[in-house]
């Protein structure tokens, strides 16, 4: 991702309280490191958030989430800040997701740090979705998992020819979260089900088609766009930079996607895909069969239920249940081990096949956490429409 300008960075409003939360549990060096992983500055009328872990493709940590939320809360009441821009440092992407190695270690040890992280992360996702000012997300490069959560709920979502947008959680024994089941459940037809089960990363045209983005801007024009936002509202600036992306892949596949993924079970979806006689459908089936069987079935159930739940806040509450319950299931630790820790790319799922995953295995992901552990979010208070 290109450098979008380097104005002088200063701490975000409200960051002092976030630092105070961390004080006493981190060394001075660790506090400095946390402070540098997300940067804030005001550029004219725009408050700019820069995710700043380029070597980790800006993967989110709990302190980063806290500091972003603090800044957004302060900027919402600051008349000098009329819109917000979020971007990623480095050349590779906006954000590759959450720090899954930390989740692996937490789950393996039987601790609750991941649940605390998700609670604050999902609250941030809800704040972004209801933000009272334009929230412009530059989804340049890799934008996956938690990266989708801090961008695709915004009111102005911009992709480029380098964008690769995905919710790849089934590949690590997890279920799409950060409002991912809300977003994918509202994609046209069964496109969202296809993306959720396969974890496929899509480019600009397909992200637009699926409702994950609003505008395409060539990557080399992002510095100009960012500079222009300092002096004018996004709705006035975007028409000068927005363009038409190259063709995607999903529009021509809607026929078999909508038919196959409308099936009631993952097993039937795979059977339909294999029976299509289309190479791309066969490839999708083969991809699905490499994922965690339990995560696949829980994901399909979560998507279908999300559509019926209504507002994002209710879906996030469901996702919090699913995520917390996943911490005690074997596939999450095993999936992260295979993909990130040992990198052997050979997870040993338990159960190993779709047929072995029972209805009770799926329902345990949706089991109540107890009154004091559930995610409680305030009801929707409006926010800006996308444009």
Strand partners, 143: 95, 165
Instruction: Quote the CA–CA distance of 384 and 154 in Å, as a whole number.
Output: 9
DSSP 3-state assignment of 191? helix
Cα dihedral sign, 142-144-149-152: positive
Active site residue 169: yes
- Is 382 marked active-site? no
Q: How far apart are CA 263 and CA 271, in angstroms?
A: 10
The reply to whether 88 belongs to the active site is: no
Return the residue matching tokens 């895909």: 273
Candidate list 34, 99, 106, 169, residue with the active-site label: 169
Q: What is the DSSP letter of 356?
A: G
Tokens of 260: 């196959």
Residue 254: closest CA among 229, 281, 225: 281
| Rounded-to-integer distance, Cα 34 and Cα 346, Å | 33
Per DSSP, helices labelled H in the chain are: 15-22, 28-36, 62-76, 100-109, 113-129, 146-149, 180-185, 191-198, 204-209, 222-229, 234-237, 254-260, 266-274, 279-288, 293-309, 312-326, 330-336, 359-363
DSSP H or E segment with residue 40:
strand 38-43
What's the distance, Cα to Cα, between the start and end of the chain in Å? Answer: 23
Spot the catalytic one: 14, 88, 98, 149: 98
Active-site hit among 34, 70, 121, 177: 177
83-88 and 46-51: which strand pairing? parallel
Q: Is 371 a catalytic residue?
A: no
Q: Catalytic one among 88, 90, 141, 146? A: 146
- C-beta of residue 365 within 8 angstroms of C-beta of residue 326: yes
Residues taking part in catalysis: 98, 146, 169, 177
């Amino acid at each position: 991702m290109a450098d979008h300008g380097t104005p002088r960075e200063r701490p975000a409003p409200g960051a002092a309280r976030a630092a105070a939360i961390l004080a006493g549990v981190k060394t001075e060096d660790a506090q400095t490191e946390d402070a540098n992983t997300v940067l804030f500055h005001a550029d004219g009328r725009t408050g700019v958030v820069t995710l700043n872990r380029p070597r980790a493709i800006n993967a989110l940590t709990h302190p980063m989430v806290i500091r972003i939320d603090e800044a957004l809360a302060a900027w919402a009441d600051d008349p000098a800040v009329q819109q917000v821009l979020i971007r990623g440092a480095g050349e590779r992407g906006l954000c590759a997701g959450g720090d899954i190695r930390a989740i692996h270690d937490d789950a393996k040890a039987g601790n609750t740090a991941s649940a605390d992280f998700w609670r604050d992360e999902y609250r941030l996702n809800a704040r972004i979705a209801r933000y009272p000012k334009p929230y412009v997300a530059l989804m340049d490069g890799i934008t996956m998992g938690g990266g989708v959560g801090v961008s695709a709920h915004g009111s102005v979502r911009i992709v480029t020819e380098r964008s690769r947008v995905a919710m790849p959680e089934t590949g690590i024994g997890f279920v799409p979260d950060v409002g991912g089941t809300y977003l994918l459940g509202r994609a046209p037809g069964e496109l969202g089900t296809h993306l959720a089960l396969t974890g496929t990363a899509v480019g600009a045209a397909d992200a637009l088609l699926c409702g994950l983005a609003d505008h395409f801007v060539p990557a080399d024009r992002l510095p100009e766009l960012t500079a222009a936002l300092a002096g004018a509202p996004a709705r006035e600036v975007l028409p000068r930079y927005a363009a038409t992306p190259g063709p995607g892949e999903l529009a021509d596949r809607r026929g078999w996607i909508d038919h196959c993924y409308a099936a009631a079970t993952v097993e039937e979806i795979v059977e339909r895909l294999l029976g299509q006689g289309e190479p791309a459908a066969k490839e999708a089936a083969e991809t699905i069969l490499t994922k965690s069987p339990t995560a696949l079935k829980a994901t399909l159930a979560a998507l279908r239920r999300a559509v019926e739940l209504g507002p994002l806040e209710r879906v996030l509450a469901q996702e919090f249940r699913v995520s917390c319950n996943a911490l005690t299931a074997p596939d999450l630790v095993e999936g992260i081990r295979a993909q990130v820790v040992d990198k052997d790319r050979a997870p040993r799922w338990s159960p190993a096949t779709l047929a072995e995953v029972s209805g009770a295995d799926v329902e345990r992901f949706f089991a109540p956490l107890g009154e004091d552990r559930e995610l409680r979010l305030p009801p929707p208070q409006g926010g800006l429409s996308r444009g």
